[in-house]
Structure 1
C-alpha cells in the first residue's frame, strides 16, 4: 500500500493545523475588496508543500516549534503567493490549479496591487518581530526567482540554452524557493550557520530533482493528468530536449528547433519533437540527472540525527519523485 501525504505529514499535523489558523488570520484586511481576494486565495491553496518543509526542517533541530517557525512558514507562503499572483499577470494566465487566477477575476491592475500587498505583509511580519535572518533568506530567494525567470525569457528567444544555463535557470526559478524554505526552517529553530547552509543545500537538491521530474511529465512518461507537450508548445527548452539536441547533427538540430519555434500548437510537430527526444535517449539521461540530485539530497539529510521528521522528509521526496501526476 502506498503512503499518503497525510501519513507523511503526521509528525507535523498539529503544527500545520495551527499554521492554517494563524495564516488565515494574517491574511485578513479592513479593505473589503482585498479581504474578499485574500479569502479566495486562502481557499484555493495547493498541497502546502513549502510550509511542510519549513516545519519538518525546524523539527530536526527542535521538538517544540516556536512562534518564529510559524512566522517563517507564513513569510514563505506570503512571498510565494505574491510571486504566483504576479506570474499569472506576466503569463496572462487565466487559471491556477484549476481555479480562475486573481487577474482573470479582478483584472491585472488589481492583481499587481494584491501581489504588492502580499509582499509588504510578509516584509512587515518579519520586521515587526526582528526576524532579520529569515527575511534575508526569503528576500534572496525572491531575487533569485526573478533572475531565473528573466534569464529564461532572455534565452527562450533564441532557444540556445545549454545544459549549464538550464541548471542555472531551474536552480534560481524553482530550487531556490525550496532551498529557502529549508533554510528558514533551520534558522527559525536556532540552528547554527553551518546547519542552516546544509539545510539550504538539501532543499536546493530536492528542488532540482522536483523540477526535472516536472520536465519529464511533458514527455508523457506515464499516464498523467498534465497534457503532453506543453513545454514544447510554449517553446521552453528542458533537459530531455537539450540533451537530444546536443547529440544531433547540424541538419537534424535545425529541423527540431524549427519545429519547436514554429509549432503554433500543431500537435504533429510537437509529437515529432517528442519522438526525436525519446529516440535520442533524452528521457533516460534526464531520469539519471533527477536520481543524482535525489541521491545527493538524501545523503545530506542522512547527516542529521534520525527522527520522525527526517523519515517524513525522506518519504516526502520519494512521494514527489515517484508520483505519476
Structure 2
C-alpha cells in the first residue's frame, strides 16, 4: 500500500497552499487565540480530509479557490468539534499531544471551539459559498446527533447492528461524505454527481470506522490503545456480532463484564478473547470490505484519471491501514 505522501503527490502543491490558507483563516487579534491556533496547526494530522476534497474537485471539474475554501471550512468545523469532544470526553491527549483543554482548561477550549466554528461560517458567508456551508453544516448536525445517540445507547448497552450503522453513518461517515460532496460542489458538478460523491464518501467513512473498531481487539502496537472502546463501554461491530452469536448466559455474562469491568485488564482481556473466539473480527473485516467495494463501485461510474486513482488509493489507505 502506498504511503500518504505518495498518494497526495498529484495534489501536493494544492495541499501546501491549503495549509497556508488554513493557518491564515484562523488568525485572530487576540494573542492567546493565536498561540492556541498555532499549536493546533503545528499538530495537524495527515490532511486526509482536505485530500478527499481536492481529489473530488479535481475529478469533477478542477480545483479552484472555492475548493480551497471548502477544504478550510471542513477543517475549521471538524477541528472545532474535536476541541469540544476532548472537553466532553475529559480527554487530555490527541494524536499523542496534549489536548487544548489539557493545556488551557475547559473554558478556554470551549471558547476556542466556538471561535473556529464562527471562522468557518464567516469564511463561507463572506464568499457566498452557501452550497458548501449547507453541505458541511449538515455533516456537523449529523455528527452531533450520532454522538448523542451513541451516548444514549451506551448507558443501556442495547445497540443492534442496524443502530450501530446509524451511529457511525452520522458520527464518522458524514464528515468524509461532506468532504467529497464539497469537492464536487466547488468544481461546479451537477447535483447528481455531488450526491454520488457524498455517497462514495459515506461508504468510505463506514468502512473506515469499522476498521478503527477492529483495532480495539488487535495487538496494542497499532497506535490505538487496546480495549479503549471496551473501557468506554462502546458497542462496536465485532462485539455486537459476538453477542448476537452467543447463548443467553454468555451474552449476559459478557454484557455484565462490559458494564462492570472497572478498567480491570483481566476482564477486558476476557471480553477481547470472547469476541475473537466468536468470529467477531472476521465478520467485521467482511463488512468493512463490503462497504469498501461499494465505494469503489460508485467511483467506477465517474471519469477515470489521476484524481480517481488518487481517491481509490486514499480509500485503501484509510481502510487497509495498520494503525
Determine helix, strand or coil for the equivalent of 2:303.
coil
Whole-Å Cα distance in 2 between the matches of residues 144 and 225 of structure 1? 27
**Number of the residue aligned with 2:2:** 3
How far residue 130 of structure 1 moved from its aligned partner, in angstroms, is 0.6
The within-5 A match list for 1:100-249 is 100-220=98-218, 223-249=221-247
How far residue 221 of structure 1 moved from its aligned partner, in angstroms, is 5.9
**Number of the residue aligned with 2:55:** 56
How far residue 116 of structure 1 moved from its aligned partner, in angstroms, is 0.5
Whole-Å Cα distance in 1 between the matches of residues 76 and 262 of structure 2? 36
**1:240-283 Cα distance to aligned partner (Å, 9 max, x none):** 11011111111111100011111111111111111111111111
* Cα 1:221/1:94, change in 2 over 3 Å: closer
Whole-Å Cα distance in 1 between the matches of residues 138 and 241 of structure 2? 30
Q: Which stretch shows the higher mean deviation, 272-281 or 152-161? A: 272-281
**Number of the residue aligned with 1:24:** 23
**1:30-51 Cα distance to aligned partner (Å, 9 max, x none):** 1111111111111111111110
How far residue 223 of structure 1 moved from its aligned partner, in angstroms, is 4.9
**Number of the residue aligned with 2:289:** 291
Instruction: Kindly report the root-mean-square deviation, in angstroms, between the aligned alpha carbons of the 2 structures.
Output: 1.0
Whole-Å Cα distance in 2 between the matches of residues 311 and 172 of structure 1? 27
How far residue 222 of structure 1 moved from its aligned partner, in angstroms, is 8.2
How far residue 62 of structure 1 moved from its aligned partner, in angstroms, is 2.1
Task: Answer whether contact 1:223 1:324 (CA < 8 A) is retained.
Answer: no
Determine helix, strand or coil for the equivalent of 1:157.
helix
| TM-score (normalised: structure 1) | 0.98
How far residue 229 of structure 1 moved from its aligned partner, in angstroms, is 1.1
Determine helix, strand or coil for the equivalent of 1:227.
coil
Which stretches in structure 2 are left out of the alignment for 5+ residues? none
Q: After TM superposition, which residue ranges in structure 1, 4 or more long, deviate above 6 angstroms? A: none
**Number of the residue aligned with 1:252:** 250
* Cα 1:221/1:281, change in 2 over 3 Å: farther
Q: Does 2:93 correspond to 1:95?
A: yes
**1:91-117 Cα distance to aligned partner (Å, 9 max, x none):** 011111111111111111111111000
**1:200-253 Cα distance to aligned partner (Å, 9 max, x none):** 000000000000000000111685232211111111100011011111111111
**1:276-308 Cα distance to aligned partner (Å, 9 max, x none):** 111111111111100000000000011111110
Task: Answer whether contact 1:72 1:188 (CA < 8 A) is retained.
Answer: yes
The within-5 A match list for 1:58-77 is 58-63=57-62, 65-77=63-75
Task: Answer whether contact 2:219 2:226 (CA < 8 A) is retained.
Answer: no
Task: Answer whether contact 1:209 1:290 (CA < 8 A) is retained.
Answer: yes
Whole-Å Cα distance in 2 between the matches of residues 70 and 158 of structure 1? 43
Whole-Å Cα distance in 2 between the matches of residues 213 and 56 of structure 1? 22
Which stretches in structure 1 are left out of the alignment for 5+ residues? none
| TM-score (normalised: structure 2) | 0.98
How far residue 318 of structure 1 moved from its aligned partner, in angstroms, is 1.1
Task: Answer whether contact 2:67 2:186 (CA < 8 A) is retained.
Answer: yes
Alignment coverage as a number of residue pairs? 323
**Number of the residue aligned with 2:274:** 276
How far residue 320 of structure 1 moved from its aligned partner, in angstroms, is 2.1
Determine helix, strand or coil for the equivalent of 2:8.
helix
Whole-Å Cα distance in 1 between the matches of residues 175 and 314 of structure 2? 16
